[in-house]
Structure 1
């Protein structure tokens, strides 16, 4: 695998269209994703986000349009595209019978990597799962499974990772765990295309945001650029009360990234 022209976008999409019968899901989608950045495809349920990701990962064939991934043409070089990417879907695809470490070792062996144990240990450390590495994945919380799933997708060091609604169904603490993991991906040079329906997620993570609505990109840019599309805010001084999320994270934040002891939490006033 070669290609990846320096300076060229990691992902370039032009005029992408897809319909299921008479229902048009994508109606001419265009966007570019710079290398090493986090790009959020933001839209409500049914907007076409997952369809776009499935096309770009070669799981679906578009009706029209073209795209290049890591310098490879989606239509004529699908094998090279698949070698350049990794996909994490909306539900964690871990084997619950295996331990976290065994899941990682299995994928490393399937990809014919040298020292699969060392690969697994490195990823467990990167995703703060070392202490839980020898536990069966069935005992993991939703956030831990998500982190393990993303870690598995990184085996083989793909330059581009698709994350399709990675925090769906997670509580606030677990969502933030996954956010930190995604930020580490981009910091290491990996290009991340993230689909989400959560406004705060796109605001927190993305270098650039594209809003997909009724099968079309209606606006794209950085958060600052999108903010400037609206009239200037009127300055008012109000007393700001802490949000429920602020309260929740303050109360539980001293327990660390994950309580892996398995012991039930004490009720207020009990020891």
Structure 2
């Protein structure tokens, strides 16, 4: 019981940080103290003050306002990437992991060839061919990340398909679609949530990295990675222009990692308890 309370506290803390960041982004027009695109050369590189809590950048723009509006770019892009990655990977993983055979072997060879190249290098190569921009960056990250999801989800499906109750479900006359819907999907739901909650932080980090390299969001769009890129020439003079955007990225990524870790511990605890009492899904004809 004590362990469960600790897990819940960590989960609530991580989820609360993520929810707070998202709410700040949603209500950015009412929370941001200044226009994130307004240029004021007379106020350039000012230190944090009451008027500019995080200071100003080299063009006199409010860093806090740009960070707040940057939440929209990073989180929305990450959610779009996650959505399309799931739409592509889940059906492929269910089919290949459940049916197996030649189609599974062909798909796994394609996945192996995709995963053989480091993610960031392949993503940069795709964006370099398509040209810099937010949409091209989203497309490139989806093309790169779907393979790892297919491999992960397929391994779960293969393991579940070999359980005794799955053979009983087939012998009971259930259709393949019913088996996948009723007995496979509920079993893989929580592991996918744990995996994706950790990966959403990595996606935000990838978005910031590509924007830092000039391949993602283009100026004057307020995006965290692009803000770091703008601040590189002024870091020694005004370190806060790079510190606060970097802090926003670190905070969001650590919150996602905390949520994933706590969900993983909870899943492990529940799985052990279910195995201890011999709990198995009920088979219905």
- TM-score, length basis structure 1: 0.27
Which structure has greater strand proportion?
Answer: 1
- TM-score, length basis structure 2: 0.26
Which structure has greater helix proportion?
Answer: 2
Q: Which has the larger radius of gyration?
A: 2
